[in-house]
Amino acid sequence: MEIFERVQTKKDFLAVVGLGYVGLPIAVAFAEKVKTLGFDINQEKINVYKKGIDPTHEVGDKKIQSTTLEFTTDPTRLKEASVIIVAVPTPVNGDKTPDLAPVVNASKVVGQNLSKDSIVIFESTVYPGVTEDVCVPILENESRLVCGKDFKVGYSPERINPGDKMHKLENIRKIVSGMDKETVENIAAVYELIIHAGVYKVPSIKVAEAAKLVENAQRDINIAFMNELAMVFDRMGINTKDVVDAMNTKWNALGFYPGLVGGHCIGVDPYYFIYQAEMLGYHSQIIAAGRKINDNMGIFVADMVIKKLIQSDKNVKKSNIYIMGITFKENCPDMRNSKAVDVCKHLATYGIKVKVVDPVVDQMELKREFDTELVDIKDVKNADCLVFLVAHRQFEELRLTDVNSMFKKQTKHVIVDIKNIFEQETIEKKGYSYWSL
């Protein structure tokens, strides 16, 4: 437990590499207990944090302004740390294969600045074997140190749910693993400093890597099942929410609803599992099918927008359409892998240009990811159609009179509401053309 004691007594730093939606909350939490370095290669991001601004909304400006966390872009500072946590993103390529470039590059930086008798803990989501078969050789090559003798490695998958103010870092049980028993105990002791819910020790690094993939693949499959039901029930003229609400009265119902599945976890992690399975000669059937359904839901929703416009005798190409919500989930500025973007892009293939309303989106990220007009909610007017794709708090607080003022006068009002923000019977009584997923 010597490494843990060096951190606990503030003799050495603990460092977090990658300060995004996952790394920043972890780094700030550790800074309340031990000397902590927060490293990121993005100077612009570090400058924003140093100004006391949290664009992720995961920590909040107040905590950023008061934290003792030392922000840096200087990789040599990592030499001062005996525990280094790597929390960089692991996206997929255009062909849906794993993009390990961020974790590979992070391993190189860490290896070049790795001190003897340290522990490197990976949190980035990867398929089983990446930590030991990909990252360790890089660490050894760059540091000229020997894993197991000069330094140790472990894996503890991130389980943060962006935008969720109930299930936060400290009350989500942490899975921990290490290359040997001593490493597991050190890593467990480190995380127990900040995780009130405690840790769960697993027998190997590969088990921990696999656990992260399957917990998200499980959610993906369940939502895909709901999405398939929604598409069939639409043809049957049945309201999906009514069916699911009825089903959820049984004690063993799982409580899933249909929707757009994006983000950096559920919409990505299953592809890591599928890739590794295929490398071993097994073609995924259930997980791959679920991904196919969820990846195509943006197209289905976009086609329903067009259908509702035509049924309401609207000139589709000239219709004034507002997309209400562009992030991948409610009350979160993150729009990585947002399927709301897919809806917009599919509508664009028909020559339809939409306007986007999103009160919480990171506007710089929006410019990078999707070039479109961002409209303030108070400036929405003369609409033909409102498409509610994300249930932001500001949308849920809208009254029907507020919504009515956004539409053109004396025309059919069309609302597509995939999050069931509004009550269908009430809104249809007001003469709206309404559709929900």
Catalytic residues: 265
Gap between the Cα atoms of 162 and 216, Å rounded: 14
Gap between the Cα atoms of 298 and 108, Å rounded: 37
Q: For the residues of 391-408, what is the DSSP string, one character each?
A: --HHHHT--HHHHHTTBP
Gap between the Cα atoms of 15 and 135, Å rounded: 17
Q: Is 135 exposed, middle or buried (0-12, 13-18, 19+ CB in 10 A)?
A: buried
| Contact between residue 222 and residue 247 where contact means Cβ atoms under 8 Å apart | no
| Contact between residue 400 and residue 432 where contact means Cβ atoms under 8 Å apart | no
Gap between the Cα atoms of 328 and 336, Å rounded: 7
Q: How far is CA 74 from CA 42, 70, 135, 281, in A?
A: 11, 11, 21, 43
Cβ count near 297 (within 10 Å) = 25
Gap between the Cα atoms of 280 and 164, Å rounded: 36
At 324, give phi and psi (nearest 5°): -95, 90
